[in-house]
Chain A
Amino acid sequence: MRIAWRFLTSSPVQSSLIVAGIAVGIATQIFVGSIIFSLQDSLLVTAIGSAPHITIRAIKESDPVRYTPEMRKILTTDPRIRQGTVAPVRSVPALYGNGKDSASLGLLGGNLKDLEGIYKISANTIAGHASLGSGEIMLGKDFADKFGIKAGDTIALKFQDNRTGSLTVAGIFDLGAAQFNLRNAFVGGDVPRNVLGWSGDEYTQIQLQLDQPYDSIKIANQWAQQLPGISIMEWQRQNRSLLAGLVSQAVSSYMIQGFVLIAVALGIASTLAIAAVQKTRQIGILKAMGLSDREAGLIFLWSAAILGVAGSLGGVVASFALLALFTLAPTPFTITIRPSFVAVSAAIGIVVALLSSIIPIRRTSRLDPIEVIQNG
Chain B
Amino acid sequence: MAELGDRQLVEACELDKIYGEGEAATHALCGVSFDLCKSEFAAVVGQSGSGKSTLLNLLGLLDTPTKGTIRYHEGDASTFTTGKRAGVRNSLIGFVFQSHYLLPEFNVFENVAMPAYIGRSMSDEDIRPRVEQTLAMLGLEGLGHRNAERLSGGQKQRVAIARALINRPALVLADEPTGNLDTVNTNLVYDLFREINKQTGTAFLIVTHDRSIAERTDRVLEISDGRLVLDVRTSDIVGTLA
Q: Which residues of A contact B (CB under 8 A)?
A: 2, 6-7, 9-10, 281-282, 285-295, 369-370, 373-374, 376
Contacts and interface: CB of A to CB of B under 8 A. Distances in A.
A292 B118 CA distance: 9
- Main secondary structure, interface of A, reads helix
Contacts of A286: 103, 114, 118
A369 B63 CA distance: 9
A376 B97 CA distance: 9
- Which of B91, B104, B114 neighbours the largest number of chain A CB atoms within 10 Å of its CB? B114
B193 interface: no
B115 interface: yes
Q: What class of interface size applies to chain B in its complex with A?
A: 20 to 34
A373 B106 CA distance: 19
B82 interface: yes
B9 to A, nearest CB: 18
B83 A289 contact: no
Nearest to A293: B82
Nearest to B93: A290
A188 B57 CA distance: 97
A109 B40 CA distance: 106
A281 B63 CA distance: 17
18 contacts: A6-B106, A9-B105, A10-B105, A282-B105, A285-B103, A286-B114, A286-B118, A288-B101, A289-B95, A289-B114, A290-B90, A290-B115, A291-B86, A291-B90, A292-B82, A292-B86, A295-B118, A370-B63
A282 B62 CA distance: 15
A370 B62 contact: yes
A2 B91 CA distance: 20
Interface string B33-64: 00000000000000000000100010010110
B20 to A, nearest CB: 14
B92 to A, nearest CB: 9
Given A370-B57, A373-B97, A376-B99, A291 B118 contact: yes
Given A291-B86, A292-B83, A373-B57, A6 B105 contact: yes
Contact of A288 (B53, B62, B104, B110): B62
A287 B86 contact: yes
A6 B87 CA distance: 23
A376 B98 CA distance: 9
A297 to B, nearest CB: 12
Contacts of A9: 105
B190 interface: no
B156 interface: no
Contacts of B114: 286, 289
Contacts of B82: 292-293
Contacts of B104: 10
Contacts of B63: 370
Given A290-B87, A291-B118, 10 more contacts: A6-B105, A281-B101, A286-B118, A287-B86, A288-B89, A289-B95, A290-B119, A292-B83, A293-B82, A294-B83
A364 B200 CA distance: 35
Interface in B72-110: 82-83, 86-87, 89-91, 95, 97, 99, 101, 103-106, 110
B32 to A, nearest CB: 18
B104 to A, nearest CB: 7
A285 B105 contact: no
Interface of B: 53, 57, 60, 62-63, 82-83, 86-87, 89-91, 95, 97, 99, 101, 103-106, 110, 114-115, 117-119, 163
A342 to B, nearest CB: 34
A369 B101 CA distance: 12
Contact of A7 (B89, B105, B118): B105
A110 B90 CA distance: 84
Among B60, B103, B117, the one with the most A-chain Cβ atoms within 10 Å of its Cβ is: B103
A285 B86 contact: no
A282 B103 contact: yes
A130 B37 CA distance: 102
A289 B62 CA distance: 10
Nearest to B62: A370
A337 to B, nearest CB: 39
A295 to B, nearest CB: 7
B117 A2 contact: yes
Contact of B115 (A282, A289, A294, A369): A289
B114 to A, nearest CB: 6
Nearest to A11: B105
A282 B101 CA distance: 8
A369 B89 CA distance: 12
B62 to A, nearest CB: 5
A13 to B, nearest CB: 15
A374 B58 CA distance: 13
Choose among A9, A10, A281, A288 the residue with the greatest number of B CB atoms under 10 Å from its CB.
A288
A290 B91 contact: yes
A370 B175 CA distance: 13
A291 B89 CA distance: 9
A171 to B, nearest CB: 75
Nearest to A296: B86
Nearest to B98: A376
A374 B83 CA distance: 21
Those 4 A-B pairs whose CB atoms lie nearest each other, nearest first: A290-B90, A10-B105, A292-B86, A6-B105
Contacts of A291: 86, 90, 118
A359 to B, nearest CB: 20
B105 A288 contact: no
B174 to A, nearest CB: 13
Nearest to B63: A370
A293 B115 contact: no
Contacts of B57: 370, 373-374
